[in-house]
Copies of this chain bind each other. A is one copy, B any other.
Amino acid sequence: MIKVERLNRISRLRYEKIINRCGEKIYPLVFKAAAPVVEDIRKNGDRALARYIKRYEKISLSPGKLIVSKKEIRDAYSNLPGKLLKDIKLMIRNVKAFYGKQLSNTCKGWKGRFGKGYTAGQLLRPVESVGVYVPGGTALYPSTAVMGIAPARIAGVSRVVVATPANRKGKIAGPVLVAADLAGADLILKAGGMQAVGAMAVGTRTVPRVDKIIGPGNIWVSAAKLYVMIRNYSSIEFVAGPSEVLIIADGGANSRYIARDMIAQAEHGPGSSAVLVTTSAGTAGKVRESLNEMVKQSSRKRTIEAALKRYGAILVAESMGKAVEFANKFAPEHLQVMTKNPGDILKSINNAGSVFLGEYTPAALGDYLSGTNHILPTGGGARYASGVNLETFFKRPTFQQFDGKALDALRKPLTELADVEGLTGHGASVEERFKRSKT
């Protein structure tokens, strides 16, 4: 299924294929598919929204039924198995604990005194309203509801709208409703795909317009997110593609754990990628064997095989340095470091969504219970983006305050610089402050 390859011997083409992984063809859908749907909703509101829900999701919902009712939420709580309620609460508690620490560590405004006595600094302000997209349809993802909503609430977002597709009976799965409600959703919209993103971006009578839309989704959701972003209807965090894990391992790593973690990633879908880069040919061979054995017994055998065949790789690197270099180049969504001293490797990691250190830290922890976040940049996006975290929901406007003396000190240089740029009115706005007669 997967063969063992030497990192320094693979062809340029093979290297590019691994690095580029599953490149989803979202671009053409932005104008061909998403644009007309979003523009129709912008013009015709709920009527258009309901029409697309009927067309694409095969559900008839009158505008009055688009939003989940209080009764539906109460019913979801009543029907939820007790242990699952406890699990969801634990998931939320851990996310809140983690982001509570981010809040106290790095989320604050500040100011200082500068130059000849002026004050300047940065404010810290939450985005006012956020839309969280929670994928659904065939599966259900209470965890994604938590990952999107809980950090927004900690950042102080005033309004959190959730959109998730209902089933053919117009119902949303209980665990998702409970998770969204417990995490702090103000409003849950029964819609998926392009129409859900479009409605939150432009607003309708029943769906409030939001400032930012976050959350993973299929290529239609991604196309709609890109469209509303380039039209400036709403901002987005990023577009998330198929799930990925890259595992760095040395000769002491447990090959069965590695194989399990690669499978856990591959089971997400046939576009997912699971890559091992190891300094040990022995580990590489054993992982290969374990994979062959374990995949056969997996419940999602076909999906896993497809993913591993197309986007899986087992690479043997000449040195740990080369392995880390490859990891930074790959910029994985999930990076597992299964080496003797994983903390040493961590120092050299520049590009990763979330890093999992040591043999007892499978990436699955990040999906549910370690409190970090599973809405992470994929496809190399970790080179320039972070996963959803409090900064996703904060802006940092700058401010400054001068008195006459401090302004006077910059008066001449400012006028000279503005004059070079041909902006004489800029200098004049400063000079006006030093004229004798004042009105």
Contacts and interface: CB of A to CB of B under 8 A. Distances in A.
Contacts of A404: 360
A365 B30 contact: no
Oligomer: number of copies: 2
A51 interface: no
Contacts of A433: 257, 359-360, 362
Nearest to A363: B429
A398 to B, nearest CB: 4
A195 interface: no
Contact of A432 (B84, B260, B268, B286): B260
Contacts of A83: 416
Contact of A429 (B211, B263, B370): B263
Interface residues of A, number: 138
A302 to B, nearest CB: 13
A389 B398 contact: yes
Interface stretch (A2-10, A162-170, A371-379): A371-379
A426 B364 contact: yes
A250 interface: no
The winner among A114, A350, A382, A425 for most chain B CB atoms within 10 A is A425
A234 B430 CA distance: 39
A139 B421 contact: yes
Interface stretch (A40-48, A66-74, A140-148): A140-148
Interface string A223-235: 0001000111011
B211 A383 contact: yes
Contact of A364 (B298, B366, B418): B418
A94 interface: yes
A127 interface: yes
The winner among A266, A286, A379, A383 for most chain B CB atoms within 10 A is A383
Interface stretch (A105-113, A185-193, A309-317, A318-326): A105-113
Contacts of A355: 123, 397-400
Interface in A377-401: 379-387, 389, 391, 395-401
A260 B425 contact: yes
A354 B101 contact: no
A86 B226 CA distance: 44
A120 interface: yes
Contacts of A264: 423, 425-426, 428-429
A438 to B, nearest CB: 6
A15 interface: no
A371 B409 CA distance: 14
A309 B120 CA distance: 33
B401 A396 contact: no
A176 to B, nearest CB: 9
B123 A98 contact: no
Contact of A267 (B106, B349, B365, B423): B423
Contacts of A261: 429
A432 B386 CA distance: 30
Contact of A211 (B101, B142, B384): B384
Interface string A399-439: 11111101100100110111011111111111011010011
19 contacts: A86-B413, A98-B120, A106-B106, A106-B107, A120-B372, A211-B383, A232-B379, A232-B381, A234-B384, A235-B381, A255-B439, A263-B428, A266-B425, A267-B424, A298-B425, A304-B425, A349-B397, A364-B418, A365-B407
Given A87-B413, A106-B107, A122-B389, 5 more contacts: A139-B421, A264-B425, A358-B402, A360-B403, A360-B433
- By Cβ-Cβ distance, the 6 closest A-B pairs, closest first, are A372-B398, A357-B401, A355-B399, A105-B110, A260-B429, A364-B426
